Structure 1
Amino acid sequence: MSELAVTTASASKAAADEELVHQYLSFILHERRYALDGLCVREIIEYQRTTKVPMANRCVHGVINLRGAVVPVIDLSLRFNHARTQIDRRTCIIIVEVPQPEAPQILGILVDAVSEVLEIAPAQMNPVPAFGNSIRSDFIQAMVHREGDFIILLAIENALAVAEIAALPDGTKALSA
């Protein structure tokens, strides 16, 4: 193969990889960096008081009124079986659209702070380790090494599985109206 053909093939592969770069919103939760696919992020809002929901799973922080729609807010820290998120001036709610088998669901996730938008190519993603994770491995899409630390890319459809969250803390389902 000629040198020109190899160079052209390399340039084509680099261009194809560049097209596959996705944007991820990174955020902080208990001093750890996480990120989620930017395509599922609808908006970021300042923390606002929520209305508690009786008999809800413990990770459901409450609900908010978002332009006339009732949006459940999930304390992601409790969802990961960590301590409750401490509310301060940097705490915010990320409004996401979560793919679900029936229909997409709009949810809010409570986080300590939003960091930045990252551009990540598939080649930068590392597989999920089999052990040693601080959260369930099915909640993790991949891990990315940046600035001397790992960022956990969330598999949002698993981490925020509505059917699982709707189950009561003892595993039973809530009565539907």
Structure 2
Amino acid sequence: MNAILAPVPAIALPSPAGALSGQHLTFQLRGGIYAMPLEHVREIIEFGSLTTVPRMPAFVRGVMNLRGAVLPVVDLGARLGLPPAEASRKTCVVILELPGDTAPLVVGALVDAVCEVAEFAPTDIQPAPSFGAGIEDRFMQGMIRSDAQFIILLHTSAALSPHELARLAADMATQ
């Protein structure tokens, strides 16, 4: 793969250590609001061009160059069973660092828009409903009521399984 993509400016985030106090990144996917623990979020970058990789699942949109490293980019909505993303000026790539067996796995998650970093107490999180959320139960840790809306709390390690993504990354490296 010869395509070299210039890194794009990053948005600074609070220290990941704050995740222990209940900080979450909230973002939009296909009209819904979702959240993930801030502890896995490393940075947020503007969506740019991606290099597609043949024979990858539909939810893997391609790879990008992030400061010299090849980074797989997953359409998070498509991974959750929602329609594929249509890029807009608000589309972002959330760079995540997930624990792996031997080393952390770094992956980009394509989201429609980033909302904010919000603090949720454990008592704010309700059990996920067994129906009606529009995504598989295994991808949800719970629901958070915020103002007049519900926020779906993602189970990041299930939605972006390090084992599955490591296998996909190995497949990309051999192509």
TM-score bracket, normalised by the shorter chain, equals 0.7 to 0.9
TM-fit CA distance, 1:176: 7.5
Instruction: Provide the C-alpha distance between the structure 2 equivalents of 1:128 and 1:100, rounded to a whole number of angstroms.
Output: 26
2:155 aligns with: 155
Task: Tell me, yes or no, if structure 1 residue 112 matches structure 2 residue 145.
Answer: no
- Match runs of 1:76-87 below 5 Å: 76-87=76-87
Q: Which moved more, 1:157-166 or 1:93-102?
A: 157-166
TM-fit CA distance, 1:100: 3.4
Q: Which moved more, 1:37-46 or 1:20-29?
A: 20-29
Task: Tell me, yes or no, if structure 1 residue 128 matches structure 2 residue 114.
Answer: no
2:95 aligns with: 95
Letter in 1 for 2:98: V
CA RMSD across the alignment:
2.2
Letter in 2 for 1:56: M
2:45 aligns with: 45
Instruction: Provide the C-alpha distance between the structure 2 equivalents of 1:107 and 1:174, rounded to a whole number of angstroms.
Output: 15
- Match runs of 1:136-175 below 5 Å: 136-165=136-165
SS state at 1:71 partner: strand
SS state at 1:83 partner: coil
TM-fit CA distance, 1:77: 1.4
Identity among equivalent positions (%) equals 44
SS state at 1:35 partner: strand
Instruction: Provide the C-alpha distance between the structure 1 equivalents of 2:158 and 2:127, rounded to a whole number of angstroms.
Output: 16
Letter in 1 for 2:29: L
Q: Pick the structure with greater CA Rg.
A: 1
CA contact (8 A) 2:52 2:62 kept: yes
Runs of 5+ consecutive residues of structure 2 not aligned to the other structure: 1-19
TM-fit CA distance, 1:82: 1.6
Q: How many residues align?
A: 155
SS state at 1:34 partner: strand
1:25 aligns with: 25
CA contact (8 A) 1:57 1:166 kept: no
Runs of 5+ consecutive residues of structure 1 not aligned to the other structure: 1-19
2:10 aligns with: none
Instruction: Provide the C-alpha distance between the structure 2 equivalents of 1:131 and 1:165, rounded to a whole number of angstroms.
Output: 27
